[in-house]
Structure 1
């Protein structure tokens, strides 16, 4: 049966009057899924594995898991003496980082309470041996207790009113010191931003949560707080964009997004920005992660532009005396606008993933490729753990990874030239992709600091994807602007090991100062600015 989108939409629109809003949304989502799957099935390269990933999500792509999947689908059992992709099966695998108990040092946001001994102090005689004296050990004992609390709290001040029995004048008590004129303080704005844009909690869910805790917080009020806060701290975001343009390496990618104001009733674009492509209807959130002198800056931009176009706009602020940066992205043509002047590196993970997707059909060939790339990644992890400089890392890769990649290229070429692989098969297309983009995929063998993959940007885009899954859309372009700003600030903090709640709070408290010198209020130096101001304030 041929599926015509306009015909299906017309049927759905006629049925809308008989359905509730929730029922209509479910039926519309089912229709979109059917159309999408039909389009995927019509593609030449579609596979059962690809469809499973689209429907149920991708699982881990480690070489060991791929091997296990191949054995499972082939109905085999792995033998204890065989070498797996991650080492021998008989070897004890190290427990993954992050499992187990957290030490007391991990609770950096916890309140610290010093508890002295109830009966002894340093210098007292030892009550056990009666001969020695006790002294304070280097490390105290630790006792961690976790308490629950609402995301936002409130205090109601009941100001006493006194009325004169003759003239009727009312005398109201003054508010206690430190209360301040604002109903919502800096901490409340920071918490709403973290819940909404850092954790993907929609305004209406937070409204229900706080309402159940006895703190009314309407969704419209939350939005007004976010909009006001974004306007005040926007100079910091603009400074982040300027600094990101100076980066040595810039990763970028995008994901689909929806802005209701940019979509008409029948799906056509209604954007009015003259800089946008007039016939483009898609809306995307672009993620850019810039590496600058050891710091990582995350930027998000939502609109009709693709990631490459947003990167080009950012690089317009790059200092003219700087050389060409390294641009890490996948090999899509939309990532490469003509105006970009960069050293292009393509994501090795994208090339590797093509072999993962067809590994069950071509196990021997794909495992050879995966094993080779596993060694390259192992070399890169070793260079990182040893703290090598970009130049040392380049030399290390040229020595250790270069020969392996040369062998892999020769093997890939032989598969095509000697007609060992059907060019139109899944394996043939995976090999063709690697060979076509070989220079960009192996820039790490020629350029200091060139990364292997674009994983850091793909992880950053999970912020936008989480928002899309929970809130579904932005209502207006201004709403997208606010979301991009807070996601950029929050994820930049996370990338640099900075507490985003503390950072946003200080920005809100010092909005007037940061507008004059935004460069002093980056996540990695705002603490120094606060300390400097604290020293200067008593002297002024």
Structure 2
């Protein structure tokens, strides 16, 4: 009895027409029509408020899932026995980057008589592997006690020289690699690392950590500039942004009040580059700055982003693709209010994603043809079905469902670019995953103090995440960049994550 009866504008219009045609007194007709109009407005307000509260709860606590079965309250499917998924077993020896120690047999060698049968000869077989994992502080320390002699007559002091392995700096390149990886790669704030180090007996104050990070950045920053230049030549560029607080910019009255971190992901063939830019600019302004580095003879890149106008630049031409996941999310948010319509859309988009998963290993021309054959008819039927809802006036344009439909129709061309252009992605999920680096930093460190500090963070996040995308160890990479800083400044293009080992090997042969 307490359930609200859904009423559309057409229903109210029809009721009001019947009231006008009734023999009721004029005053009664006026009151009834006013009540019906108010009921319609209250229903819309209630629905919008429910959606707003739902979105707010998801922003605060996070969405549990956007999977179709959960969103549409489908009964659980019967479990099908499956083998263990790949990557969930024991790690092999090749997964460990630690030092390798050869252990020789204490009594036997190749060619000896077999002590078992005392007839055969022994030959070398594949070695047995035993792995031992040890724990230690992120930053370790070694105290070198240098013997000193002092003349009892003239007072001159003679000190033993440090061995070469002691190095010349208190904080060596490995410390210069570890601190930024923990801070910008894993989101560990300086003060938390300070507490950890103090508890382990190797103090490293927050101010010292910042000095280490800044000094490392001074030695390697040409690589960041080179990554920007090469990312500008990409065939596909994803971009998105998130808010960030910069204390020095809070009272800056000359520029935009908001400060943002833009994440970009550039694909050039099989090469992937992640970039981060923090400041007053939106994602569209940052991609405009990036494309200034693009070679004039190249075709416009495919740009993948959501449909916000601030994500695009009017200065440079791009082939715009919009994120299908954002369009789908509009229906996920209102699925409780419009279950049948949302289920129809979500199921069609689910089939499109299934087709995209089937085509993930195909060449771009084959993938395009696969989508045209399999996804094209589905999207065409969806387009016709949405238009029919408006033509038949079975959906309120200003309702949550009407707005979700209007969003898809307004951005239909960029949403369906994957049906017309080779290599066009379906969504911006990869960039959103990369942008989590900045979000993790924001959740743990809360803010940057200055724009310079934000630049340092962008530099390390870009380098570290690009290493991970290239399956390169960022710790080894940052150490190599510091050790070869003069060469990095001369030829940064030879010291990128995918080719630095070749250049380091060449230099080692010249020594």
Q: Given the two structures, how large is their TM-score scaled by the length of structure 2?
A: 0.86
Gaps of 5+ in 2: 1-44
Gaps of 5+ in 1: 1-39, 72-77, 79-83, 272-277
Please report how far the alpha carbon of residue 47 of structure 1 lies from its aligned counterpart in structure 2 after TM superposition.
3.7
Provide the aligned C-alpha RMSD in A: 2.3
Aligned to 2:257: 281
Distance 1:106 1:365, change over 3 A: farther
Distance 1:43 1:364, change over 3 A: closer
| Distance in 1 of aligned mates of 2:230 and 2:341 | 44
Given candidates 127, 152, 171, the residue that maps to 2:158 is 171
Count how many residue pairs are aligned between Structure 1 and Structure 2. Answer: 467
Please report how far the alpha carbon of residue 127 of structure 1 lies from its aligned counterpart in structure 2 after TM superposition.
5.1
Which entry has the higher C-alpha Rg, 1 or 2? 2
| Distance in 1 of aligned mates of 2:125 and 2:386 | 63
| Distance in 1 of aligned mates of 2:316 and 2:47 | 34
**What do residues 199-242 of structure 1 show as CA deviations (whole Å, max 9, x unaligned)?**
11111111111111111211111111211211221111111110
Corresponding position: 1:110 with 2:94: no
Aligned to 1:59: 64
| Distance in 1 of aligned mates of 2:484 and 2:64 | 44
Given candidates 426, 437, 444, the residue that maps to 1:463 is 437
| Distance in 2 of aligned mates of 1:237 and 1:454 | 23
SS at match of 2:165: coil
| Distance in 2 of aligned mates of 1:177 and 1:101 | 39
Asked if the contact 1:261–1:270 (Cα under 8 Å) also holds between the matched residues in 2, the reply is no
| Distance in 1 of aligned mates of 2:376 and 2:115 | 67
Asked if the contact 1:331–1:437 (Cα under 8 Å) also holds between the matched residues in 2, the reply is yes
Aligned to 1:13: none
Asked if the contact 1:358–1:426 (Cα under 8 Å) also holds between the matched residues in 2, the reply is yes
Given candidates 415, 431, 439, the residue that maps to 2:413 is 439
Given candidates 279, 286, 300, the residue that maps to 2:276 is 300
Asked if the contact 1:163–1:171 (Cα under 8 Å) also holds between the matched residues in 2, the reply is yes
Please report how far the alpha carbon of residue 439 of structure 1 lies from its aligned counterpart in structure 2 after TM superposition.
0.6
Given candidates 383, 393, 400, the residue that maps to 1:409 is 383
Distance 1:513 1:94, change over 3 A: same
Please report how far the alpha carbon of residue 369 of structure 1 lies from its aligned counterpart in structure 2 after TM superposition.
1.9
Aligned to 2:248: 261
Asked if the contact 2:220–2:485 (Cα under 8 Å) also holds between the matched residues in 1, the reply is yes
| Distance in 1 of aligned mates of 2:295 and 2:328 | 35
Counterparts of 1:429-508 in structure 2 under 5 Å?
Answer: 429-508=403-482
| Distance in 2 of aligned mates of 1:127 and 1:430 | 79
Asked if the contact 1:302–1:484 (Cα under 8 Å) also holds between the matched residues in 2, the reply is yes
| Distance in 2 of aligned mates of 1:460 and 1:489 | 12
Please report how far the alpha carbon of residue 405 of structure 1 lies from its aligned counterpart in structure 2 after TM superposition.
1.6
| Distance in 2 of aligned mates of 1:126 and 1:378 | 59
Corresponding position: 1:205 with 2:159: no
Please report how far the alpha carbon of residue 513 of structure 1 lies from its aligned counterpart in structure 2 after TM superposition.
0.5
Please report how far the alpha carbon of residue 395 of structure 1 lies from its aligned counterpart in structure 2 after TM superposition.
1.3
Counterparts of 1:374-393 in structure 2 under 5 Å?
Answer: 374-384=350-360, 387-393=361-367
